């Protein structure tokens, strides 16, 4: 039976594994919510596919998590990388640290290093699961557990979980945790774009901290709007049409 908003996280994952088999995968950057989903799915089937994006700017600790997951669960972590020619074109035109200049250039970097490679990988799938939770910020408040209208079908099994529920599961199942949490990080992405959070700050305050709160998504789950969207389209066209790409 197709899961609903009342279905548990485990039931959603069991349905996806049974319905889609190898055409289903978990996409994770090995943060806490993603690790809960991975652990839960691996307890259902060791044949679960696990995807992760290697943007080329990840902290070393994230690569260590890939090895921890491989050793703990015996799964193959499918590492998805950006197109080298697109990265070369972008960096040649705008510099290696373009993301600090303006929101549109940061979004361009995310688009080249994350969104486009993931879109290419998702063409292999009929469904995928992510660790989005509604409690993570106002841009995620309306995240559905099961989005059957998306292509491929998009699952957020922990959408209604609290941070406390995630932490309790991690403790109870002794799930590996990303080493940067011990250094004060609450949300972990690329090394230049992530910092530890300060006391009293929201968990995602350490992501792209030089930007306004409204722009703090990479584009995988939510695209930019307005001027940023229009500027991104122009920048992306320039990158893809250059002699480098």
Q: What are phi and psi of 50, to 5 degrees?
A: -125, 125
Query: What angle do helix axes 32-44 and 9-20 make, rounded to 10 degrees?
Result: 60
Does a structural domain hold residue 92? yes
> What is the rounded distance in angstroms from the CA atom of residue 195 to the CA atom of residue 205?
8
Domain enclosing residue 201, as ranges? 9-241
Residue 20, helix vs strand vs coil = helix
In percent, how much of the chain has pLDDT > 70? Answer: 90
The pLDDT of residue 222 is 57
Instruction: With a cut of 70, say whether residue 87 has pLDDT above it.
Output: yes
Domain count for the chain: 1
Q: What are phi and psi of 77, to 5 degrees?
A: -90, 115
The kind and range of the H/E element at 167 are helix 163-173
> What is the rounded distance in angstroms from the CA atom of residue 32 to the CA atom of residue 110?
21
Query: What angle do helix axes 163-173 and 32-44 make, rounded to 10 degrees?
Result: 50
Give, as one character, the DSSP assignment of residue 114: I
Give, as one character, the DSSP assignment of residue 207: B
Instruction: With a cut of 80, say whether residue 214 has pLDDT above it.
Output: no
Rg, the chain, Cα only: 18
Does a structural domain hold residue 2? no
Instruction: Give the CATH number for residue 15.
Output: 3.40.50.620
The pLDDT of residue 59 is 97
| Active-site residue, selected from the candidate residues 109, 110, 190, 218 | 218
What predicted TM-score, i.e. pTM, was given to this entire model?
0.88
Among 193, 184, 240, 239, CA closest to 216: 193
The pLDDT of residue 114 is 95
Q: Is 218 a catalytic residue?
A: yes
- More confident call, 120 vs 104: 120
Query: In this structure, are strands 146-147 and 153-155 parallel, antiparallel, or unpaired?
Result: antiparallel
Instruction: With a cut of 90, say whether residue 56 has pLDDT above it.
Output: yes
Average pLDDT over the chain, rounded to whole? 91
What pLDDT digit, counting tens, does each position of 16-33 carry? 999 999 999 999 999 999
Contacts of 99 (CB under 8 A, 6+ apart): 105, 106, 109, 110, 192, 193, 208
Does a structural domain hold residue 3? no
What pLDDT digit, counting tens, does each position of 142-192 carry? 899 999 999 999 999 999 999 999 999 999 999 999 999 999 999 899 999
């Amino acid at each position: 039976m197709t899961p609903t908003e009342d279905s548990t996280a485990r039931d959603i994952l069991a349905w996806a594994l049974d319905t889609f088999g190898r055409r289903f995968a978990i996409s994770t950057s090995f943060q806490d919510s993603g690790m809960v989903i991975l652990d839960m799915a691996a307890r259902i089937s060791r044949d679960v596919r696990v995807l992760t994006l290697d943007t080329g700017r990840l902290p070393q600790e994230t690569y260590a998590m890939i090895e921890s997951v491989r050793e703990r669960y015996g799964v193959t972590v499918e590492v998805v990388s950006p197109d080298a020619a697109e990265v070369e074109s972008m960096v040649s035109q705008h510099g290696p640290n373009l993301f600090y200049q303006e929101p549109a250039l940061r979004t361009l970097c995310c688009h080249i290093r994350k969104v486009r490679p993931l879109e290419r990988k998702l063409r292999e799938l009929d469904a995928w699961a992510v660790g989005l939770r509604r409690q993570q910020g106002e841009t995620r408040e309306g995240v559905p557990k099961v989005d059957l209208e998306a292509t491929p079908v998009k699952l957020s099994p922990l959408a209604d979980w609290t941070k406390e529920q995630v932490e309790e599961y991690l403790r109870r199942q002794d799930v590996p945790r990303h080493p940067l949490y011990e250094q004060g990080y609450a949300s972990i992405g690329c090394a230049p774009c992530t910092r530890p959070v300060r006391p009293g700050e929201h968990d995602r305050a350490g992501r792209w901290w030089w930007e306004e709160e409204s722009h703090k998504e990479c584009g995988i789950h939510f695209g930019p709007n307005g001027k940023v969207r229009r500027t991104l389209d122009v920048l992306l066209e320039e990158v893809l049409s250059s002699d480098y790409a």
